A and B are shown apart, each in its own frame.
Chain A
Amino acid sequence: MIIKKVTRNIRQIDADTVKSNPLSIAFILFSLVVIYYANQFPDGGEIGAGFFPIMLSVGIILFAIVDLATDDETELDLSDVDVAPIVIVSGILFAYVFLMPYTGFLVGTMLFLPTVLYYSDVRSKLLIGAISIGFPILLFYVFSRIFLVRLPESQILPVSRLLPQLPLVVL
């Protein structure tokens, strides 16, 4: 009985199912690319470097097909999702990381925070100013003087050199 249901479910996969579950298709295609690449890895005796990635990719393909054949209701209702904030917040984050080598951590974060805070509807200038300046400086001292972790420093604007040196507190 269960086998009949499985075959019936697999037969029911049609263009609409595929369209409504693009991620499963993306995972299948991705796995096929991985199998193609992994096939070219050298054998290396009994089991080569490609054996495990191929096995995992085959597993992904099988379960993605099962997912396509299964009518579940685990997806979020996409009508609730607003795409604009994702694009904007992702864009700001992307710019923050991209500019980090040029701006350094301090300046980059001092530019990032007010932008995101303002976008998040925070309108108090005092609050935006305090968080945007105070938080990066606090983090800078915590990481550089306590954890001894060097954060990216701008070659153009080495702002951290202007800050007073605090004693080392190594944990």
Chain B
Amino acid sequence: MAVEHILQGFANVMDPVVLILMITGIFLGLLMGSIPGMTATMTIAVLLSFTFTMEPATGMMLLLGIYGGAVYAGSIPAILIRTPGTPSAAATIFDGYPLSQKGEAGRAIRISTVASFVGGIISVLVLMFFSPVVADAALRFRSPEFFALAVFGLTIIASVSGDSLAKGMVSGLLGMLVATVGIDPVTGYQRFTFGIPELLTGVEFIAVMIGLFGIAEGLRTYSLGISDEQDRVNQKITGVLPSFADVKSIAPVSIGSGILGSLVGAVPGAGGDIASFITYNEATRWLKNTTPSFGDGNIRGVAAAESGNNASTGGALIPTFTLGIPGDSVSAILIGALLVHDVNPGPALYQEETGLLYTIFVGFLLIYVFILIFGLLGANYWARLINIPQSLIWPVIFVLCVIGAIALRGNVFDAWIMLAAGGLGYVMRLRGYPLAPMVLGLILAPIAEENLRRSLVLSNGSLDIFYTSPIALVVLLLSVAALLVPAARALRS
């Protein structure tokens, strides 16, 4: 019964250690999200190593605290210095910065905090009540359906994660290829191990993720010139609570954007940035004659963008937990965090790890309550975090990257893998290749390969098995559409 699980989850998150880690995660997320250039993905990848020896639920609370805190805090520099702290806060600039210019930065941050809370809570509720239904349906899936889903995950992610579909696909396929290193699960043959014992169990994909999101980003920052000459925040943020009139004014748009943002977030690959642009755009369509107009400091614009991007966090966890297909790059890392503890995301998770799931759901709800409290009480302090120079942050992040890779298996070999991935990621970013598909490819490859081979064994090598299953056929056709539609659009233009 769901109520029992929710109550049990509530009891689990009330453990003092879990609460401390949750709050620590939120503070780390607030810190990193407030500093432009430090993304939620990078922060979680770099700090993942801290969770290796924790209980899965405890570790997830730390990581989800960082996730929620960073996505919320990205709005603070967007409002104050017109630079989003995280990519998902880009749409917040449109109305947040004009409000700041009018001397109403405090009001904008309070609106952003309340809207983030509304969006986040709605998304977790959608996750809590909708994902078991999806998981229940997915329990009927067999190998052909899972293979089709893995292909769909990769194509949809590649098609939405960058300007070039071809580059996205190359990146994703490269990630899948890296995942084939190690002992072949069917024949036991050693693939691409070159006699290196550390490669027998495959390339540690967490080391690759740390390299791609930590080292590559750091190298990029240094190559473009590490500068501490960013805009400084001098505006003092006063007051704590938003006015009743403001809350009443943003309530409908926050709730609507929360629902829409959750649905957009549930589409694999559509992260907070896409969700916030869609919800902002929809708000401007729904509310045409408002004063001030959108783009001129309308609090409902801030609310739409912030509710939308925070709502994507819970939404992204729906395909992650129910199908094992990451909703965005952060949830790909969260899958990694679960796999470290031998917890395999997918429909069976809802039967085998119900306690863990409901602890995560209730914990994520509580995280948004804490974000509301800390966001309102500490707005003035979070705003000051923007002034922390990047020259102090990056050396520390490099150390965390190295220690994170070493802590995986206690050997330096994984640090070399991490550095190699960082170098490759840097060059790929330089040439316009998105990195998110590569990480998702790493996650999806074992699902795709195992289910493809199992399907073909079941069908004696015939491809019929993929089109005699209606679900697999529809999903594969959707994958083809995900490739062809943007390609045709590009060719037409």
Contacts and interface: CB of A to CB of B under 8 A. Distances in A.
B163 A72 contact: yes
A107 to B, nearest CB: 13
A70 B173 contact: no
Interface in A99-150: 100-101, 105, 109, 112-113, 116-117, 120-122, 127, 131, 135-136, 139, 142-143, 147-150
Given A97-B412, A121-B226, A122-B391, A44 B164 contact: no
B403 interface: yes
A10 interface: no
B491 interface: yes
Given A81-B223, A89-B219, A149 B410 contact: yes
Contacts of A80: 224
A32 interface: no
Contact of B173 (A38, A42, A63, A83): A63
B192 A37 contact: yes
Contact of A74 (B53, B162, B398, B487): B162
Interface stretch (B176-184, B198-206, B318-326): B176-184
Given A44-B187, A46-B461, A139-B403, A93 B170 contact: no
A85 B460 contact: no
For this complex, into which size category does the number of interface residues on chain A fall?
Answer: 35 or more
B418 to A, nearest CB: 9
Contacts of A82: 223-225
Contacts of B224: 80-82
A152 B50 contact: no
A42 B415 contact: no
B164 A49 contact: no
Contact of B187 (A38, A49, A100): A49
Interface stretch (B124-132, B267-275, B358-366, B450-458): B450-458
Interface stretch (B1-9, B420-428, B466-474): B420-428
Nearest to B53: A147
Given A74-B162, A74-B163, A121-B391, A147 B407 contact: yes
Interface of B: 17, 21, 49-50, 52-55, 58, 162-164, 166-167, 169-170, 173-174, 176-177, 180, 184, 186-187, 189, 191-192, 215, 218-219, 222-226, 228, 389-392, 394-396, 398-399, 402-403, 406-407, 410, 412, 415-416, 419, 423, 426-433, 445, 448-449, 452-453, 456-457, 460-461, 487-488, 490-492
26 contacts: A44-B187, A45-B457, A46-B457, A47-B456, A48-B187, A49-B186, A49-B187, A49-B191, A50-B191, A51-B453, A52-B445, A52-B448, A53-B180, A56-B180, A63-B167, A74-B431, A81-B223, A93-B398, A96-B398, A113-B395, A116-B398, A120-B226, A147-B52, A149-B52, A151-B406, A171-B21
Ranked nearest first, the 4 interchain pairs of A and B with the lowest CB-CB distance are A74-B432, A44-B187, A120-B391, A49-B184
